[in-house]
Structures are given as C-alpha cells and as structure tokens.
Structure 1
C-alpha cells in the first residue's frame, strides 16, 4: 500500500542514532553529518518504489557528498515478516550496488519511530545545524522510474540547503511502501 509522509517541519532537529552498518562498522549521526548538511534516508531492499529509483538515489547521494552533504540510509522494516530486508540481505545489496553511503539497520525500529518515518523511501534533509529543511520526494517517479529528464527534487533541494542552509518552501512529499512495523 502506498503511503505519503507529512510535509517538512522546518527546523525540527535530527534525532541522534548509533546503528550497525552493513560494512561491519557502528555509525552514528555525528559520524555521517556533513559540513553543508545531512541526508537521512529510510529505504529497504524489497520496496518496488526504492528499487525503481535506487540508481538515482546512488547518483544523487554521490553528487551531494561532493557538495559536503553527509548521506546515510537506514532500513527499519520487520525482517520476520519481510526476510528480504534482513541485515544479511542489506549487506549483499550494499556490496552488489556499491552504495556510496552507510546502510544501517534499525532492528528495534526506534530510529524510524524517532524520525516519524512513514514509508520507503522517506528522505530527511537537514542543514549543517541538523535542522530539517527538506522532506520530499526524490523526483516524480512512482512505483516505476520516471523519465530521465524529471526534475531532481531531492538533489536540487539539498544543493540549496548546502549553499544557503535553507530548504525550498515548496516541497512535494515522497511516496512509497509503508514502513513494515513489528506487531506491538
């Protein structure tokens, strides 16, 4: 089922985290924060919305890192219900796709809850003070990748944040599969 997260709550501070990464490290928010901003993405292995645009996520992340934006991806799905999102499968995806950012596992889902993540993909773009400036879509793609010439909403927004510390006033929410929450 497709889910759309809420609009950007400008100035909201990024919650801290320390999570295991697929490369064997333990990574915190401070480890990945960039001098010009930070992008925290909630993704997973099985979501067709993520898989449709993963190449674009990788491209944009690499280009944003060149601009001084730190980038991280977090998977928070219930792996008992969705074994393709297991830590082992995350490590395979990270290696196979040569992800240019740490891919972290939120086993107890506390970080997704702290961020109020709603879907995969869900993008949180922060300025250098870790204040939220963007919570929108990657581009106009949906369950399938859109045309190559689509406006790169996430990239353009984070480029603006890197240059000015302020995100665009107009943002279009991301859309994707709901986070797969564990039963209470």
Structure 2
C-alpha cells in the first residue's frame, strides 16, 4: 500500500542516533553531518518505489556529498517478515551498487519512530544547524522510474539548502511502501 509522509516541518531538529553500518562500522548523526547540511534517507532493499529510483538516489547522493551535504540511508523494516531487508542483504546491495554513503540498520526501529518515517523512500534534508528544510520526493517517479529528464527535486532542494540554509517552500511529499513495523 502506498503511503505519503507529511509535509516539511521546517526547523524541526534532527534526532541523534548511532546505528551499525553495512561496512562493519557504527555511525552517529554527528559522523554523517556535512558542513552544509545532512540528508537522512529511509529506504529498504525490497520496496519497488526505492528499486525504481535507486540509481538516481546514488547519482544525487554523490552530487550532494560533493557539495558538502552529509548523506546516510537507514533501513528500519522488519527483516523477519521481509528477509530481503536483512542486514546481510543490505550489505550485499550496498556493495553491489557501490553506495558512497553509509547504509545503516535500525533493527529496533527506534530511529525511524523518532524521525516519524512513514515510507520507503522517505527523505529528511537538514540544514547545517540540523533543522529540517526538505521532506519532499526525489522526483516524479513512482513504482516506475519517471522520465530520464525528470526534475531533480530532492537534489535541487538540498542544493538550495547548501547554498542558502533554507529549503524550497513548495515541496511534493515522497511516496512509497509503508515502513514494515514489527508486531507489538
């Protein structure tokens, strides 16, 4: 079922975290933070919305990192019910695709809850002072990748944050599969 997260709550402060990465290291928000901002993405391996845009995510992440934006991806899905999203499979995907950013496992789902993550993908773009400035979509893609020349909304929004400290006022929310929460 497709889920759409709420609109950007401008200035909301990024919750801290420390999570294990697929490269064997632990990462905190402070480790990820970039001098011009930080992008926290909630993704997973199996979601068709993520799979349709993964190459675009990697392209835009590399460009943002070059511009001084720290980038991290977090998977919080219940890997017992969704084995494709296991830590081992996360590590395989990160290696196969050559992730240039840490891919972290939120097994307890506490970080996803603290962020209010709703779906995969869900993008949280913060300014240099860790205030939320972007919570929109990557581009016009859905379960299928949009046109190759689709406007790069996330990239443009985060470049605006890097240059001015402020995100675009008009943002279109991301859409994707719901986070696969563990049974209570």
TM-score, normalising length from structure 2? 1.00
Correspondences of 1:6-25 after superposition (within 5 Å): 6-25=6-25
2:132 aligned with 1:132, yes or no? yes
Structure 1 residue 21, shift from structure 2 partner: 0.1
- Unaligned 5+ segments in structure 2 are none
Task: Indicate the RMSD between aligned Cα atoms, in angstroms.
Answer: 0.3
Look up the SS of the partner of 1:173 in the other structure.
coil
The aligned counterpart of 1:144 is: 144
Look up the SS of the partner of 2:38 in the other structure.
strand
CA distance in 1, matches of 2:96, 2:151: 27
CA distance in 1, matches of 2:150, 2:52: 14
Look up the SS of the partner of 2:169 in the other structure.
coil
CA distance in 2, matches of 1:147, 1:168: 22
Structure 1 residue 130, shift from structure 2 partner: 0.3
CA distance in 1, matches of 2:89, 2:61: 21
Structure 1 residue 114, shift from structure 2 partner: 0.1
2:147 aligned with 1:178, yes or no? no
CA distance in 2, matches of 1:81, 1:139: 29
Look up the SS of the partner of 1:150 in the other structure.
coil
Correspondences of 1:35-184 after superposition (within 5 Å): 35-184=35-184
Structure 1 residue 178, shift from structure 2 partner: 0.2
CA distance in 2, matches of 1:165, 1:152: 18
CA distance in 1, matches of 2:147, 2:167: 25
Structure 1 residue 98, shift from structure 2 partner: 0.4
Look up the SS of the partner of 1:100 in the other structure.
coil
Look up the SS of the partner of 2:77 in the other structure.
coil
Structure 1 residue 24, shift from structure 2 partner: 0.2
- Unaligned 5+ segments in structure 1 are none
Q: Residue by residue, what CA displacement relative to the aligned partner does 1:87-138 show, whole Å, maximum 9, x if unpaired?
A: 0000000000000100000000000000000000000000000000000000
CA distance in 2, matches of 1:75, 1:148: 26
Where does structure 1 differ by over 4 angstroms across 4 or more consecutive aligned residues?
none
CA distance in 2, matches of 1:107, 1:158: 28
TM-score, normalising length from structure 1? 1.00
CA distance in 2, matches of 1:121, 1:82: 16
CA distance in 2, matches of 1:32, 1:42: 14
| Count of aligned residue pairs for this structure pair | 184
